Amino acid sequence: MNKIPNSLHASDIAHSMHPYTNMRLHEEQGPMIITRGEGVHVYDSEGKEYIEGLAGLWSVAVGFSQPRLVEAAAKQMAELPYYHTFAHKAHEPSIRLAEKLAEMTPEGMDRVFFTNSGSEANDTVIKMVWFYNNALGRPEKKKFLARNKAYHGITIASGSLTGLPANHKDFDLPAIPVTHLTCPHYWKWAEDGETEAEFTARLLKEAEDTILAEGPETIAGFIGEPVMGAGGVMTPPEGYWPGIRALCDKYDILLVSDEVINGFGRCGTPFGCEKYGFTPDIMVTSKQLTSSYMPLAAIIVNDKVYNTIADHTAKLGTFGHGFTGSGHPVACAVGLENLKIIEEQDLMGNAARLEAKFQEGLRKFADHPLVGEVRGVGLIGGIEMAKDKEKRLSFEPAGKVAPQVVKFCAEEGLILRAVYETVALCPPLIVTEEDIDQILARLGRALDRGWEWVQAEGLV
């Protein structure tokens, strides 16, 4: 090994391979090293303060300095730092957290399986759905329906459900049978003159036509994020989710609500499915479950799914699936304390109360010359950059303008994330009105600078 460079900056360039990063560009510009957090703020190695407007990766609900989570982790570490949950073993943190999730989720969703990440959770869901259909003697019922622009993870199976080109290209995905349907984003994908109701009807017809063309006996699951997150913060059109639920009922398809971003109050309701009026068969949660202080994800299934799987394990002798870290006691102890804080501080109520201020504040940018559309719900929002708002045309080359605006945001003291042509916002659930004013002010300055930049670059 080469001598380790003595600055963190140089060492990072020399040794770290970063996820979701242009590695050659990283060698040139190096890392932004974050050293500490305080409430909604984080600080970099130069001491500069930022509002974390994406709550890390859509996840740090309680902010970056919650001492109760530190205490919960330390207490559990001291008492029982690790034990597994294989083969009838159990420990209090995973038991209590499963009980809590059963209580919080819709009626009839009472059984919980833990994994370490959202991707592992969605891989587990795929295997559960396959296992379920094998248990029912329907080995051909294995295909999934997902949507373009969906994000469900990056492992081989969950990455196949994801509907984003960057996650497929040159990774040889999709690798499981999945069909991606039209992204339910009215502004971008509606045909000229099509009303929202007509758009919904067209998408539901597309889903039904696909099921019939593939054969209902082959379609096992439909997976979707109630509000799509990492693909660009897209809220569904009116009537879409109840329509999808009805199709799943009609063709005996399991409906999976990927609540990894939506869950625990993000949309102003405890879960995204509640916001949009449907009850899934399976829910997937992570991120705000522990505020990302520890890696953890939880799959919650309804009685129908559980009983079919459970009966089959009785026949086979086991459910041959699980991770060393499934239900890790420290992660579960942190998750439990985190959910207690969310309840005691009424952070889901905070999201609902601040929704109007946040969303109306964002919509004031709708007339900005850089902006095509502003969208969002609760405390999640997206601002899509467009060269021509009326024609819904993006800037060219693609993927340049939103990252530049995000760069300006960072210079203004606001960390956000660019997802394709969209600047995404998803602040910690502990934000105050004053924090939102600050976010909007910093974002406004960054958009103005972005507009000057676009003109200087000759992109308009």
Residues that bind ligand PMP (CB under 6 A): 57, 117-119, 122, 151-153, 225, 229-230, 258, 260-261, 286
Nearer to ligand PMP by Cβ, of 260 and 330: the residue is: 260
Tell me the C-alpha distance between 130 and 144, whole Å: 10
Min dist. Cβ of residue 322 to ligand PMP (A): 17
CB burial of 383-396 (b: ≥16 within 10 Å; e: otherwise) equals bbbbbebeebebbe
Min dist. Cβ of residue 161 to ligand PMP (A): 9
Q: Are strands 109-115 and 49-52 parallel, antiparallel or unpaired?
A: unpaired
Phi, psi of 298 (to 5 degrees): -135, 135
Min dist. Cβ of residue 48 to ligand PMP (A): 26
DSSP annotation of 365 reads G
Nearer to ligand PMP by Cβ, of 267 and 386: the residue is: 267
Nearer to ligand PMP by Cβ, of 62 and 440: the residue is: 62
CB burial of 307-343 (b: ≥16 within 10 Å; e: otherwise) equals ebbeeeeeeeeeeeebbebbbbbbbbbbbbbbbebbe
Min dist. Cβ of residue 286 to ligand PMP (A): 5
Min dist. Cβ of residue 117 to ligand PMP (A): 4
Nearer to ligand PMP by Cβ, of 155 and 404: the residue is: 155
Contact 60, 338 (CB under 8 A): no
CA angle 301, 306, 307 (to 5 degrees): 155
Tell me the C-alpha distance between 451 and 342, whole Å: 38
Distances (CA, A) of 409 to 53, 329, 405, 447: 10, 38, 6, 8
Nearer to ligand PMP by Cβ, of 166 and 393: the residue is: 166
Contact 448, 409 (CB under 8 A): no
Nearer to ligand PMP by Cβ, of 267 and 371: the residue is: 267
Min dist. Cβ of residue 38 to ligand PMP (A): 24
Nearer to ligand PMP by Cβ, of 222 and 451: the residue is: 222
Decide: residue 15, CB within 10 A, 0-12 exposed, 13-18 middle, 19+ buried: exposed
Q: Which one, of 291, 428, 258, lies nearest residue 351 by Cα?
A: 428
Min dist. Cβ of residue 113 to ligand PMP (A): 15
Beta strands in 10-142 (DSSP E): 34-38, 41-44, 49-52, 109-115
Contacts for 95 with CB less than 8 Å, ≥ 6 apart: none
Rg (CA), the chain: 22
Min dist. Cβ of residue 333 to ligand PMP (A): 19
DSSP string, 69-91: HHHHHHHHHHH-S----STT---
Nearer to ligand PMP by Cβ, of 279 and 286: the residue is: 286
Contact 152, 120 (CB under 8 A): no
Indicate the residue whose CB is closest to ligand PMP: 118
Nearer to ligand PMP by Cβ, of 377 and 446: the residue is: 377
Nearer to ligand PMP by Cβ, of 69 and 426: the residue is: 426
Decide: residue 107, CB within 10 A, 0-12 exposed, 13-18 middle, 19+ buried: exposed
Nearer to ligand PMP by Cβ, of 328 and 449: the residue is: 328
Min dist. Cβ of residue 225 to ligand PMP (A): 5
Min dist. Cβ of residue 417 to ligand PMP (A): 10
Contact 122, 139 (CB under 8 A): no
Min dist. Cβ of residue 170 to ligand PMP (A): 20
